[in-house]
Structure 1
């Protein structure tokens, strides 16, 4: 049984993203490493679906104790457990408050598949257009309705700054697993 959490973060200079919830899903799925399954987590608010594949970057750790989140911008829908090799486009910086009032940083990293996997790739290697940014922001703001969480968007990072943030997540993962 594959433990997706422990896959190497990168392969051949590209980031790996493990898909948890495919594009078009109206429910959030989450990887359960102890059982090695992708299980139902919660429904999205009425009328919402994931606009793109959603998942995590393996061998990373965020402030919430989970792997860093990633959205893969492409025209296909995959399935839970698919691993996509991607270019990093940037990140949406997010401050999240849970229902207990605890505030953490919980950025959303934005990727696109390598050119060989998506020849119709509509994005520049390190750019997310203003229109697409607004659409992504609106999705994330609406996706937390009814969860007890609130989020504040803190702006966008370009690919270089997002890569530095991802490196911190890799280091946090290594520290936790060296104990």
Structure 2
């Protein structure tokens, strides 16, 4: 499968949530996470895609790397955490999290599928997103995790 380009909004270890604002052509600080809560890996989006929430598809870059808002990385898709998100107003939509590995990663260079990751990484990511959404008055419900091929097909089906 070909690489995709991930654009990072919130870096690994950051307690700040940044969002890209197309109209302003910059990254805007959206919120500060509760004390002690930080992004476990770089978090961003896949350009030219559109998910169930109307935003570009969310991406988590699994690696030893910590980048910065606006960093673009070529990545291989290794899987997806399929999820339903319920907003404060009760509206429910799909809001999947696509797992990728940056092509430059040394520590994860052999990882090509979600099945190769330690279970604890997937469990921690699921817990992070449940807690993150709960703090915002939303509900994040994991449907299932799927491998690289399923994830890549979902991305292709959501490309504009």
Q: State if a TM-score over 0.5 links the two structures.
A: yes
Question: Is 2:105 aligned against 1:118?
Answer: yes
Deviations 1:62-120 (A, max 9, x none): 11110000000111210111101001110001100001100000000000011xx1223
Q: 1:154 to 1:55 in 2, by over 3 A?
A: same
Q: 1:123 to 1:148 in 2, by over 3 A?
A: farther
- Residue in structure 2 matched with residue 88 of structure 1 by the alignment: 77
3-state DSSP of counterpart to 1:29:
strand
- Residue in structure 2 matched with residue 141 of structure 1 by the alignment: 130
Aligned residue pairs, count: 158
In structure 1, distance between residues paired with 2:110 and 2:100: 10
Aligned-residue offset at 1:160: 0.6
Aligned-residue offset at 1:149: 1.1
Segments of structure 2 that go 5 or more residues without pairing to the other structure are none
Aligned-residue offset at 1:14: 0.5
Q: Are the equivalent residues in 2 in contact too, given 1:18–1:58 (CA < 8 A)? A: yes
Aligned-residue offset at 1:155: 1.2
In structure 2, distance between residues paired with 1:45 and 1:157: 30
3-state DSSP of counterpart to 1:166:
helix
Segments of structure 1 that go 5 or more residues without pairing to the other structure are 1-11, 174-179
Q: Are the equivalent residues in 2 in contact too, given 1:29–1:38 (CA < 8 A)? A: yes
- Residue in structure 1 matched with residue 143 of structure 2 by the alignment: 154
In structure 1, distance between residues paired with 2:110 and 2:122: 12
Question: Is 2:124 aligned against 1:132?
Answer: no
Query: What is the RMSD of the two structures over their aligned residues, measured on CA atoms?
Result: 1.4
3-state DSSP of counterpart to 1:142:
helix
Aligned-residue offset at 1:123: 5.2
In structure 2, distance between residues paired with 1:123 and 1:75: 13
3-state DSSP of counterpart to 2:66:
coil
In structure 2, distance between residues paired with 1:123 and 1:97: 35
3-state DSSP of counterpart to 1:40:
strand
**Considering only CA atoms, is the larger Rg found in Structure 1 or Structure 2?**
1
In structure 1, distance between residues paired with 2:123 and 2:110: 15
TM-score by length of 1: 0.84
